[in-house]
Amino acid sequence: MRFNRFCVLLLLAIGSTFQGLLYAQDYLLREIDFSGTAEGNVGSAMEEIAGRQGFYFSYQSSLIDLESKLPFSSYQGKLAGFLQGVFGDSYEFREHDAYVIIRYAPGKLDADLEMVADGKSLVIQGQIRDYHTAEPVSTASIYEKNGLAYAMSDGQGNFELRLKAASPSSVWLTLRKEAYRDTSFVLLPPVQVDLDKHAGGRFRFLPGNGSSDNLEESFWGGMFIGFRQRMQRLNLAGFFAESPVQMSLTPGLSTQGVFSSQMINNFSLNLLGGYTAGVEGMEVAGLFNMNQRMVTGMQTAGLFNLVGGGVSGFQAAGIFNNVYDSLSGFQVAGILNKVGNDLNGAQVAGLVNQVAGKARIQIAGLANRSYSTDGFQVAGLYNRTKAGAGKIQIAGILNQSGANVDYQVSGLFNKADSVGGLQLSLVNVAASSDYTLGLVNIVGDGEKSIAVGLDESSFAQLSLRSGGRKLYGLLGTGLRLHPITLFGLDLGFGWHSIRKKSYFMDIELVNRLSGDFAGISNHSNVFRMLHGFQSGRIKYFGGPTMAFSVLDQSWAWPVGGWVIAEKRNSRGLFALHAGFTGGVQYVF
């Protein structure tokens, strides 16, 4: 049955006054006494006033010139009058929680409204128009705050809003459109007005929208977020509503309709995929989840999760997770995890983890990247931090740190600024390091030298020693001419155990492979204790050696040095023998 048409009883606000009364902060009505600042510009004045009054200003930075000069040197009166004098009639001012919101809104909205009873529902129909031109306004957002009902005007400005309760005490209707002032109406059925003052608690204001822009402009946002949802986000800016449950088939087919982008839910179920403002609880999707602002709790998806703000809790996806702000908790993905700010927790990915800020724990099958890390990185291929202190990097191929790191272990190459602990790889590069082990080590405050020497086995050796202040690596080659010609390769590491003004003692463990390339192959493990003294860049060294050798089956010559024990069997000649080695080094 149709009711008589209801007229508009009250136009409570075009601008900010109505919202200020709703949230009862009264910042705009406060008396201020502003005597100017040293800078004399808008930004410094706003900062001083906000600090004194205990609130924050929220605005779109691209629309306000904070460096512009104030139109007056001092002011006494209400804050609303101050803002009006600074910004003029093209802006509106509202307040919510601890924020005073400044919006560029030169336009004004008007509406023709009709209320109709439809069974157990109450339907509001109407047309949204420009107040000055009377032209229809499309893609304007219309919502009723008590019943959390939403609609959007079509190309002709028409809309239909359906309320669940047949006889609400009052209908609080708000019109919002980007670049227009907010317009709010109270429509009264023939009952006593009783404003539900608690309804406002179901709304919240979250300043800033940069993360939302990033999300919507991404490849996946462009594919799945519709035009009407984008317009709702622009119209409603940082205002969001709370809802216990939402369900969707796709981002456009939801129990909350196109207003899902402005809803913060406790539980969200997306059969294929969904787009909401955020989740404070749990969200599950068959394919994907997309959230404009934040996720607190647990989020899982078969393919991917995309969050424009931050995540606090657990996030899991079959392919990738992408968080544009920070993550505090645990993130796991089959292929890729990406965090746009800091990671205060752990990432586990089948292939790649990427953090733009500081990371704590990263584990990946292929690679980890972050600006810095205060935990550890483990990857099958490589780890990389751009700057900042790091703790532990372990990789199959490569570790790279743009600043300090405690430990680096890789199969091929390590690079860091300063290494506080062990650096272990085939090739190590560092500006400063004490404990560096590798065949080639390039350490800024370490030591590199070329040595020639001779040992008890008549091997003449040419060796490269390179490393840090404590440990170093050894790579050398050798030649034995008697009784047969043998070529040798030395691989080992050493320890600078004693360093005095001119005296030194180095302890080395060297593995030597030697042969004649015609069938003879020998293998020796040699322990050396080298003593010596240094004069300028020249070092003279010598000391005892102890070796365990496995010589070829066809070896028929004496074992070099003093033989302590030997035994021959079908695999060859095994010998424990001691001797002496000596030579000279050039330090460069």
pLDDT band at 479 (very low <50, low <70, confident <90, very high): very high
In a domain, 12, yes or no: yes
Comparing 216 with 321, the larger pLDDT belongs to 321
- Asked whether the bond before 207 is cis by omega within 30 degrees of 0, the reply is no
Q: Is 515 exposed, middle or buried (0-12, 13-18, 19+ CB in 10 A)?
A: middle
Can you give the CATH number for the domain in which 518 is found? 2.40.160
CB atoms within 10 A of CB 487: 14
Is residue 1 predicted with pLDDT exceeding 70?
no
Report, as an integer, the average pLDDT of 496-500. 94
Residue 240 belongs to a domain: yes
pLDDT tens digits, residue range 323-344? 999 999 999 999 999 999 999 9
Last residue of a domain, one of 198, 231, 258: 198
State pLDDT tens for residues 421-439. Answer: 999 999 999 999 999 999 9
Instruction: Encode 349-358: b = buried (16+ Cβ within 10 Å), e = exposed.
Output: bbbbbbbbbb
**Residue 580's closest CA among 529, 543, 534, 549?**
543
Answer yes or no: are the C-beta atoms of 409 and 427 closer than 8 Å: no
- Terminal CA-to-CA distance of the chain, rounded, Å? 99
Instruction: Answer whether 154's CB lies under 8 Å from 130's CB.
Output: no
Alpha-carbon dihedral angle through residues 78, 82, 87, 93, given to the nearest 10 degrees = -20
Within this chain, do residues 228 and 276 fall inside the same structural domain, yes or no?
A: yes
CA dihedral (392, 394, 399, 400) in degrees, to 10, reads -20
pLDDT value of position 204:
76
Average pLDDT over residues 398-402: 92
Q: Single out the residue in 198, 231, 263 at which a domain terminates.
A: 198
Q: Which of 70-74, 121-125, 404-408 has the lowest mean pLDDT?
A: 121-125
Residue 420 placed within a domain: no
* Residues 167 and 266 both lie in one domain: no
Q: What pLDDT digit, counting tens, does each position of 216-260 carry? A: 778 888 888 877 777 767 777 677 888 899 999 998 788 887 778
Phi-psi region of 252 (alpha: psi -120 to 50; beta: other; left: phi over 0): alpha
Q: 281 pLDDT exceeds 50?
A: yes
Phi, psi of 271 (to 5 degrees): -60, -45
Q: Which helix (H) or strand (E) holds 487?
A: strand 486-499
Calculate the CA dihedral of residues 340, 341, 343, 349 and round it to 10 degrees: 10
Residues 575 and 392: their CA atoms lie apart, in Å, by: 41
User: What is the pLDDT, as a whole number, of residue 191?
Assistant: 44
How many domains does the chain fold into?
A: 3
Model confidence pLDDT, tens digit, residues 62-91: 788 889 999 888 899 999 999 999 998 889
CB 464 within 8 A of CB 587: no
Residue 259: phi and psi, rounded to 5, are: -85, 5
495 lies in the same domain as 555: yes
Instruction: Evaluate whether residue 361 is within a structural domain.
Output: yes
Residues facing 299 on adjacent strands: 283, 315
Hey, CA dihedral for 183, 148, 239, 228, is it positive or negative?
Answer: negative
Residues 540 and 520 in one domain: yes
Query: Residue 316's closest CA among 300, 302, 304, 329?
Result: 300
Which of 169-173, 260-264, 498-502 is least confident?
A: 169-173
Question: Which pairs from 33-36 meet CB under 8 Å and 24+ separation?
Answer: 33/75, 33/76, 34/74, 34/75, 34/76, 34/82, 35/74, 36/70, 36/73, 36/74
Q: How confident is the model at residue 2 (pLDDT cuts 50, 70, 90)?
A: very low
Do 281 and 297 meet the contact criterion of CB atoms below 8 Å apart? Answer: yes
Which of 138, 169, 198 is the C-terminal boundary of a domain?
A: 198
Residue 403: name the closest of 375, 422, 378, 384 by CA: 384
* DSSP, res 3: P
Query: Do residues 100 and 218 share a domain?
Result: no
Say yes or no: 392 and 269 in one domain: yes
Domain assignment present for residue 180? The answer is: yes
Reported as a pLDDT band with limits 50, 70 and 90, residue 210 is low
Q: Quote the pLDDT of residue 551.
A: 96
Neighbours of 293 (CB within 10 A): 25
Report helix, strand and coil shares of the chain as percent, to nearest 5. 10, 60, 30
Domain match, 343 and 242 both: yes
Whether 114 and 14 map to the same domain: the answer is: yes
Domain span at residue 561 reads 447-587
Q: Are residues 167 and 308 in the same domain?
A: no
Q: Identify whether 427 is part of a domain.
A: no
Residue 580 and residue 528 share a domain: yes
Residue 194 shares a structural domain with residue 234: no
Give me the phi and psi of 229, to 5 degrees please.
-70, -35
Cβ–Cβ < 8 Å for 405, 385? yes
Distance (Å, whole) CA 75 – CA 549:
93
User: What pLDDT was estimated at residue 394?
Assistant: 96
Specify if 429 maps to a domain.
no
Domain annotation covers residue 434: no
Average pLDDT of the segment spanning 284-308? 95
Query: No. of H helices and E strands in the chain?
Result: 6, 44
- Taking CA atoms, 314 is separated from 33, 328, 374, in Å, by 48, 9, 20
304 near 291, Cβ under 8 Å?
Answer: no
Average pLDDT over residues 474-503: 94
- pLDDT band of residue 190 (cuts 50, 70, 90) is very low
CA distance 248 to 256: 8
Q: Mean of the pLDDT values across residues 265-276?
A: 94
CA 287 to mean position of chain CA atoms:
23
CATH number at residue 125: 2.60.40.10
In this structure, the answer to whether residues 95 and 118 fall within a common structural domain is: yes
The answer to whether 333 touches 327, Cβ cutoff 8 Å, is no
Q: What is the pLDDT of residues 130-174, one digit of tens each?
A: 988 989 999 888 888 776 677 889 989 999 888 875 555 567 788
